[in-house]
Amino acid sequence: MSLFRNSKWTRRLTGIVCLWMLIILACSSLYLVAEADHDCCGQEDCPICACMEQCEQLLSHVGHGLIACSAVLLLASFVLSVAAPVVPELFHETLVSQNVRMNN
In a domain, 96, yes or no: no
As a whole number of angstroms, the distance between CA 45 and CA 53 comes to: 12
Total of domains in the chain: 1
What range does the domain containing 59 cover? 7-35+47-90
Instruction: Name the range with the highest mean pLDDT among 11-15, 26-30, 75-79.
Output: 26-30
Q: What is the pLDDT of residues 46-61, one digit of tens each?
A: 888 888 888 889 888 8
In a domain, 100, yes or no: no
With bands split at pLDDT 50, 70 and 90, how would you rate the model's confidence at 5? Answer: low
Measured in whole angstroms, the distance separating CA 98 from the mean position of its chain's CA atoms is 39
In a domain, 40, yes or no: no
- For residue 64, what pLDDT is reported? 78
In a domain, 41, yes or no: no
Secondary structure letter of residue 100 according to DSSP: -
**C-alpha dihedral sign at 62, 68, 71, 73:** negative
- Portion of the chain with pLDDT greater than 70, in percent: 89
Q: Are 62 and 72 in contact (CB under 8 A)?
A: no
When pLDDT is averaged across residues 54-82 and rounded to a whole number, the result is 83
| 96 or 49, higher pLDDT | 49
